[in-house]
Amino acid sequence: MSLLKDTKATLPSSWYYDPAHFALELDVIWYRDWVCIGRQEDIPRSGDYFVVTIGTQQLIVTRGEEGQVRVYHNTCRHRGSRLCASDRGHFRNGRIVCPYHTWTYSIDGNLIATPARVETDDFHFQDYSLYDVHTDSWGGFLFINLGKEPRDSLIDFLGREAHELGNWPLADMVSVHQERKTVACNWKVFWENYNECYHCPRVHPELCKVVPVFKKGLQSYTEDPDWRPESDGDDGRARIASDLRTWTTDGRSSLPQIDGLTDAERKTGMAFASFTASMYVVGHSDYVRSVRLLPTGPESIEVTIDWLLMPGVKEAHPDAISHILELGRLVVAQDSAISETNQQGLKSMRHDHGVLVPQEYDLWKFHEWLRDRLLGSNSHND
């Protein structure tokens, strides 16, 4: 694998579809970094569970007897059988039972029964607990790390991005609507699309009406040579049109504004927090939207979108919910479609790599990050 690069060149095209390279990225990125897999509210009771797949690894996410989140590989310690076939459910009597030979575990992962096994003196139940996985949470979001020992704590991994939404009470919010879809593209294609607005004028005309600077193909006003600050402290971030309030198709909303936001945050109308490579979160004055992605193959991802509100707001304003869904749903659908179009052109025998333009500086940063990680992996393996 060559990591030599032209500073204007994109990543090699084969990195977006080659199975061997995909396996390498799983090992270096997805199996070593913190990855968002859901929210605390997805498992409200002890014994509730859901199953999540990251690459080739399938995991059980449940809540233990003391209420703590526990994550295990979906693998019996006997001969490796899959334990849970359903995507979601509840462990009866707090027991995880293998469907093959009925080895039985507590929801805290301990082996507690092996029916019909011939007893021997050298078999010790404590030696065969479920394979557990590191887990932590931030803002109500659940993260896992498949490494034997994480390189960083979750909060160190999230970095300064975790502070971008510091005034939004994320941990107290609840998902009022969720949509999940499969997108036929490599995970990097979807992530790159998120990191630039060069495509916005053509792909997102509705969004450009709400956020005027996007109409120029720019992510912030500072990219415009003619921009001048409107006031002291104006950092040039993208913001909604002055006569609008939030991200909806008409910029209006009848939902109450979220308490604790500053006047500047309400005026800007949007704040982004990005956690490469599994999630980004967008805070608005009246709601929050999160977009999670997980790789399911070299050319496919699963995308999950949640709309979050404070408890009770949905019940108090049932007729307003569909309005906050429309624009976010449309933007993700447009991004998914154009990402699939991008993926479909990458296998041309003439297209070894593409070229970046100035507005795509965040793609360059992403490519540098990925190259450094892969180069570090090669050095470590040597």
Query: Do residues 251 and 229 make contact, with C-beta atoms less than 8 angstroms apart?
Result: no
Cα–Cα distances (Å) from 334 to 122, 199, 327, in that order, read: 60, 11, 10
Question: In whole angstroms, how large is the CA radius of gyration of the chain?
Answer: 23
Q: Do domains 35-140 and 164-367 have the same CATH topology?
A: no
Q: What is the phi/psi pair of residue 197, to 5°?
A: -115, 15
| Domain boundary assignment for the chain | 35-140, 164-367
By DSSP bridging, strand 300-309 and strand 288-297 are antiparallel
SS3 198: coil
The pLDDT of residue 231: 82
Q: For the whole prediction, is pTM greater than 0.85?
A: yes
Q: What is the phi/psi pair of residue 303, to 5°?
A: -115, 130
For every residue of 69-137, DSSP letters joined together read EEEEES--TTT---S--SSEEE-GGGEEE-TTT--EEETTS-EEE-TTPPP-TT--GGGG---B-EEEE
Interhelix angle 321-345/187-194, rounded to 10 degrees, is: 120
The pLDDT of residue 226: 86
Residue written as token pair 């300064």: 160
Per-residue pLDDT tens listing for the chain (382 residues): 333 344 589 999 999 999 999 999 999 999 999 999 999 999 999 999 999 999 999 999 999 989 999 999 999 999 999 999 999 999 999 999 999 999 999 999 999 999 999 999 999 999 999 999 999 999 999 999 999 999 999 999 999 999 999 999 999 999 999 999 999 999 999 999 999 999 999 999 999 999 999 999 999 999 988 888 888 788 889 999 999 999 999 999 999 999 999 999 999 999 999 999 999 999 999 999 999 999 999 999 999 999 999 999 999 999 999 999 999 999 999 999 999 999 999 999 999 999 999 999 999 999 999 999 999 876 444 3
CA-based angle 178:97:77, to the nearest 5?
Answer: 100
- Domain formed by 164-367, architecture: Alpha-Beta Complex (3.90)
Does the domain spanning 35-140 belong to CATH 2.102.10.10? yes
